[in-house]
Structure 1
């Protein structure tokens, strides 16, 4: 993985929370070493300069953060814990030393989703004075953000749906997967839309939306829910899933719709599926009632590679997308 896969923060050896002063200090130290007049690499110097120009400008930095650090740490082949491979994640050292690339080997043994969470890169591997990607308490926090009001109409019903879904995940998904992290309220990585929730564990990401329908029998044909002569369309999550997949090529990204009943019964509504549309994580969009949503999302996250790993690069970029 070369320099082009590093975020601007990693190029300068900074945390996302770095102040403007931190950015200037890191740039000056890095530029002195990498400047071509001092025998440095011109390509690396250009990358350092580009990182500084964006991070030193508040407006450009905000736009960059909202784009999930486009072109950043989501490089293929950087997974932690893939059996039989030597996976390393290079990064720069501290701003004070700017000691070039360092490599850290990810855990290689197979772990299960119920194992204690481990962090990659490991905090224990940080060199003296090196700035971590994010503070450890932030990385250890299982829930980030909360459903937020947006728009003028229908806000109360939407917030109620989102709150029910978030509560369901916190009570029935997160306790069984210590590495799972729920992020509420993100800007969509395309257009001007939003995503209600993102659930990540290891190298699997679930984009989650919600619906509220009456009890009864429904049929899912892969595009809409059909109830007698009525049709209910789910949230449009496919564009967000595809865009997020492009931003995180090392992850498996799918979309999920949790369908709540008006009575609060987790097993309602009853949904029949046409062939090939079962919510098993193999489809771009998976639609299920609350009970099946819990079961299938847990299976989806647990069956991925290294489900007990909290990849700090992935989590940091997702948190940067919160609105």
Structure 2
């Protein structure tokens, strides 16, 4: 209905009246469009239904745009921003866009969008929060360290990248951090482990023969890929050291388990997370684009 995620009940009713006038079959509209507008109104005007819709990241719109890929598949990223027109067709004569190019907003900041101008421009959204009755101070401290690391080391180098913290995971659970750069999305969780040498074989972290299971990000990556088929989604677990040394702990990789965008789940230390995020988010086809519709859906999924 063309309204912001923060729209009031009054704004929702007003938007529905406009949509109904345009789509009602008695006024020359399409019956299917009228039914969709009515469903949107009924969903958004009911507080419980609206909360469920927000936590699902507005899945209806993504499926109506063409469905979802098979589990584990990565999206084919657009060579130019969707709907941008011929002047934005990169790779056919013009120079490839850089992550440091001037940010392009789709739709433009002067055009109506699902989020306002100030929200679109802001690089960091949300913050680590308590979950349930008891707040785990150690977890909150660890997540805040991750936010500081990403803000200082990644966002300063990638001005068009947006960091969204504290998301509901589809199907239950949480996503600590999500980095949106162009049409690439990195989901980031963290662990705090003692200094030393660890080995990552692609599924299990090992130290002195002891198995350490990282957060199970694989299913969440698959679910988010289904909900955002226009994005290339990957998962990352960063291992933080107690003393803040970015180079610790040291992670040794088994053959085929090295970090990279083709892996559903990557495990890295802090310094390698920074390097990999710059590579993954900064080298896409359009790393200087902020899709305001996608950003709005992510913000709507914050808890």
Same-fold call, TM cutoff 0.5: yes
User: Are 1:250 and 2:230 counterparts?
Assistant: yes
Shift of 1:232: 1.1
How far, CA to CA, are the matches of 1:106 and 1:153 in structure 2? 53
Q: 2:209 corresponds to which residue?
A: 229
1:269 aligns with 2:249: yes
Matched, 1:219 2:214: no
Q: How does 1:132-143 map to 2 (within 5 A)?
A: 132-143=113-124
Partner of residue 113, structure 1: 99
Aligned pair in 2 of structure 1 residues 205, 182: CA closer, same or farther (>3 Å)?
same
For 1:53, the equivalent position in structure 2 comes to 42
SS at match of 1:249: coil
Residue 32 of structure 2 aligns with which residue?
Answer: 43
Q: Deviations over 1:33-64 (max 9, x none)?
A: 32112222111111111111111212211111
Further displaced range: 144-153 or 297-306: 144-153
Give the 3-state SS of the residue equivalent to 1:111 in structure 2: coil
The answer to whether the Cα contact below 8 Å between 1:80 and 1:106 also exists between their aligned partners in 2 is no
Cα distance in 2 between the residues matched to 1:297 and 1:106: 29
Following superposition, the deviation at residue 79 of structure 1 comes to 9.3
Tell me which of 166, 173, 190 is aligned to 1:193. Answer: 173
Cα contact 1:267–1:289 (8 A) shared by 2? yes
Specify which of 121, 138, 150 is matched with residue 157 of structure 1.
138
Per the normalisation by structure 1, the TM-score is: 0.84
Contact conserved, 1:79 with 1:203, CA < 8 A, in 2?
no
Structure 1 stretches of 5 or more lacking a match? 1-11, 90-103
CA distance in 2, matches of 1:16, 1:156: 30
Identify which of 248, 251, 260 aligns with 2:240: 260
Match of 1:29 in 2: 18
Structure 1 pair 39/222, CA: closer, same or farther in 2 (3 Å)?
Answer: same
Give TM-score, length-normalised by structure 2: 0.90
Distance 1:38 1:151 in 2: 49
After TM superposition, the runs of 4+ consecutive aligned structure 1 residues lying more than 2 A away are 73-81, 104-110, 151-154
Report if the CA contact (8 A) 1:146-1:184 is conserved: yes
Secondary structure at the counterpart of residue 164 of structure 2:
strand
Number of the residue aligned with 2:72 = none
1:291 maps to 271
Supply the distance in 2 between the matched residues of 1:151 and 1:27 (Cα, whole angstroms): 35
Correspondence 1:70 to 2:48: no
Q: Specify the alignment match of 1:13 in structure 2.
A: 2
* 1:210–1:257 contact (8 Å) kept in structure 2: yes
The more displaced of 264-273 and 27-36 is: 27-36
Structure 2 runs not aligned, ≥5 long: 68-74, 91-95
Which deviates the most, 226-235 or 25-34?
A: 25-34
Residue 246 of structure 1 and its aligned partner are, at CA, apart by 0.4
Which residue does 1:122 correspond to in 2?
Answer: 108
Contact 1:205 1:253 in 2 (8 A): yes
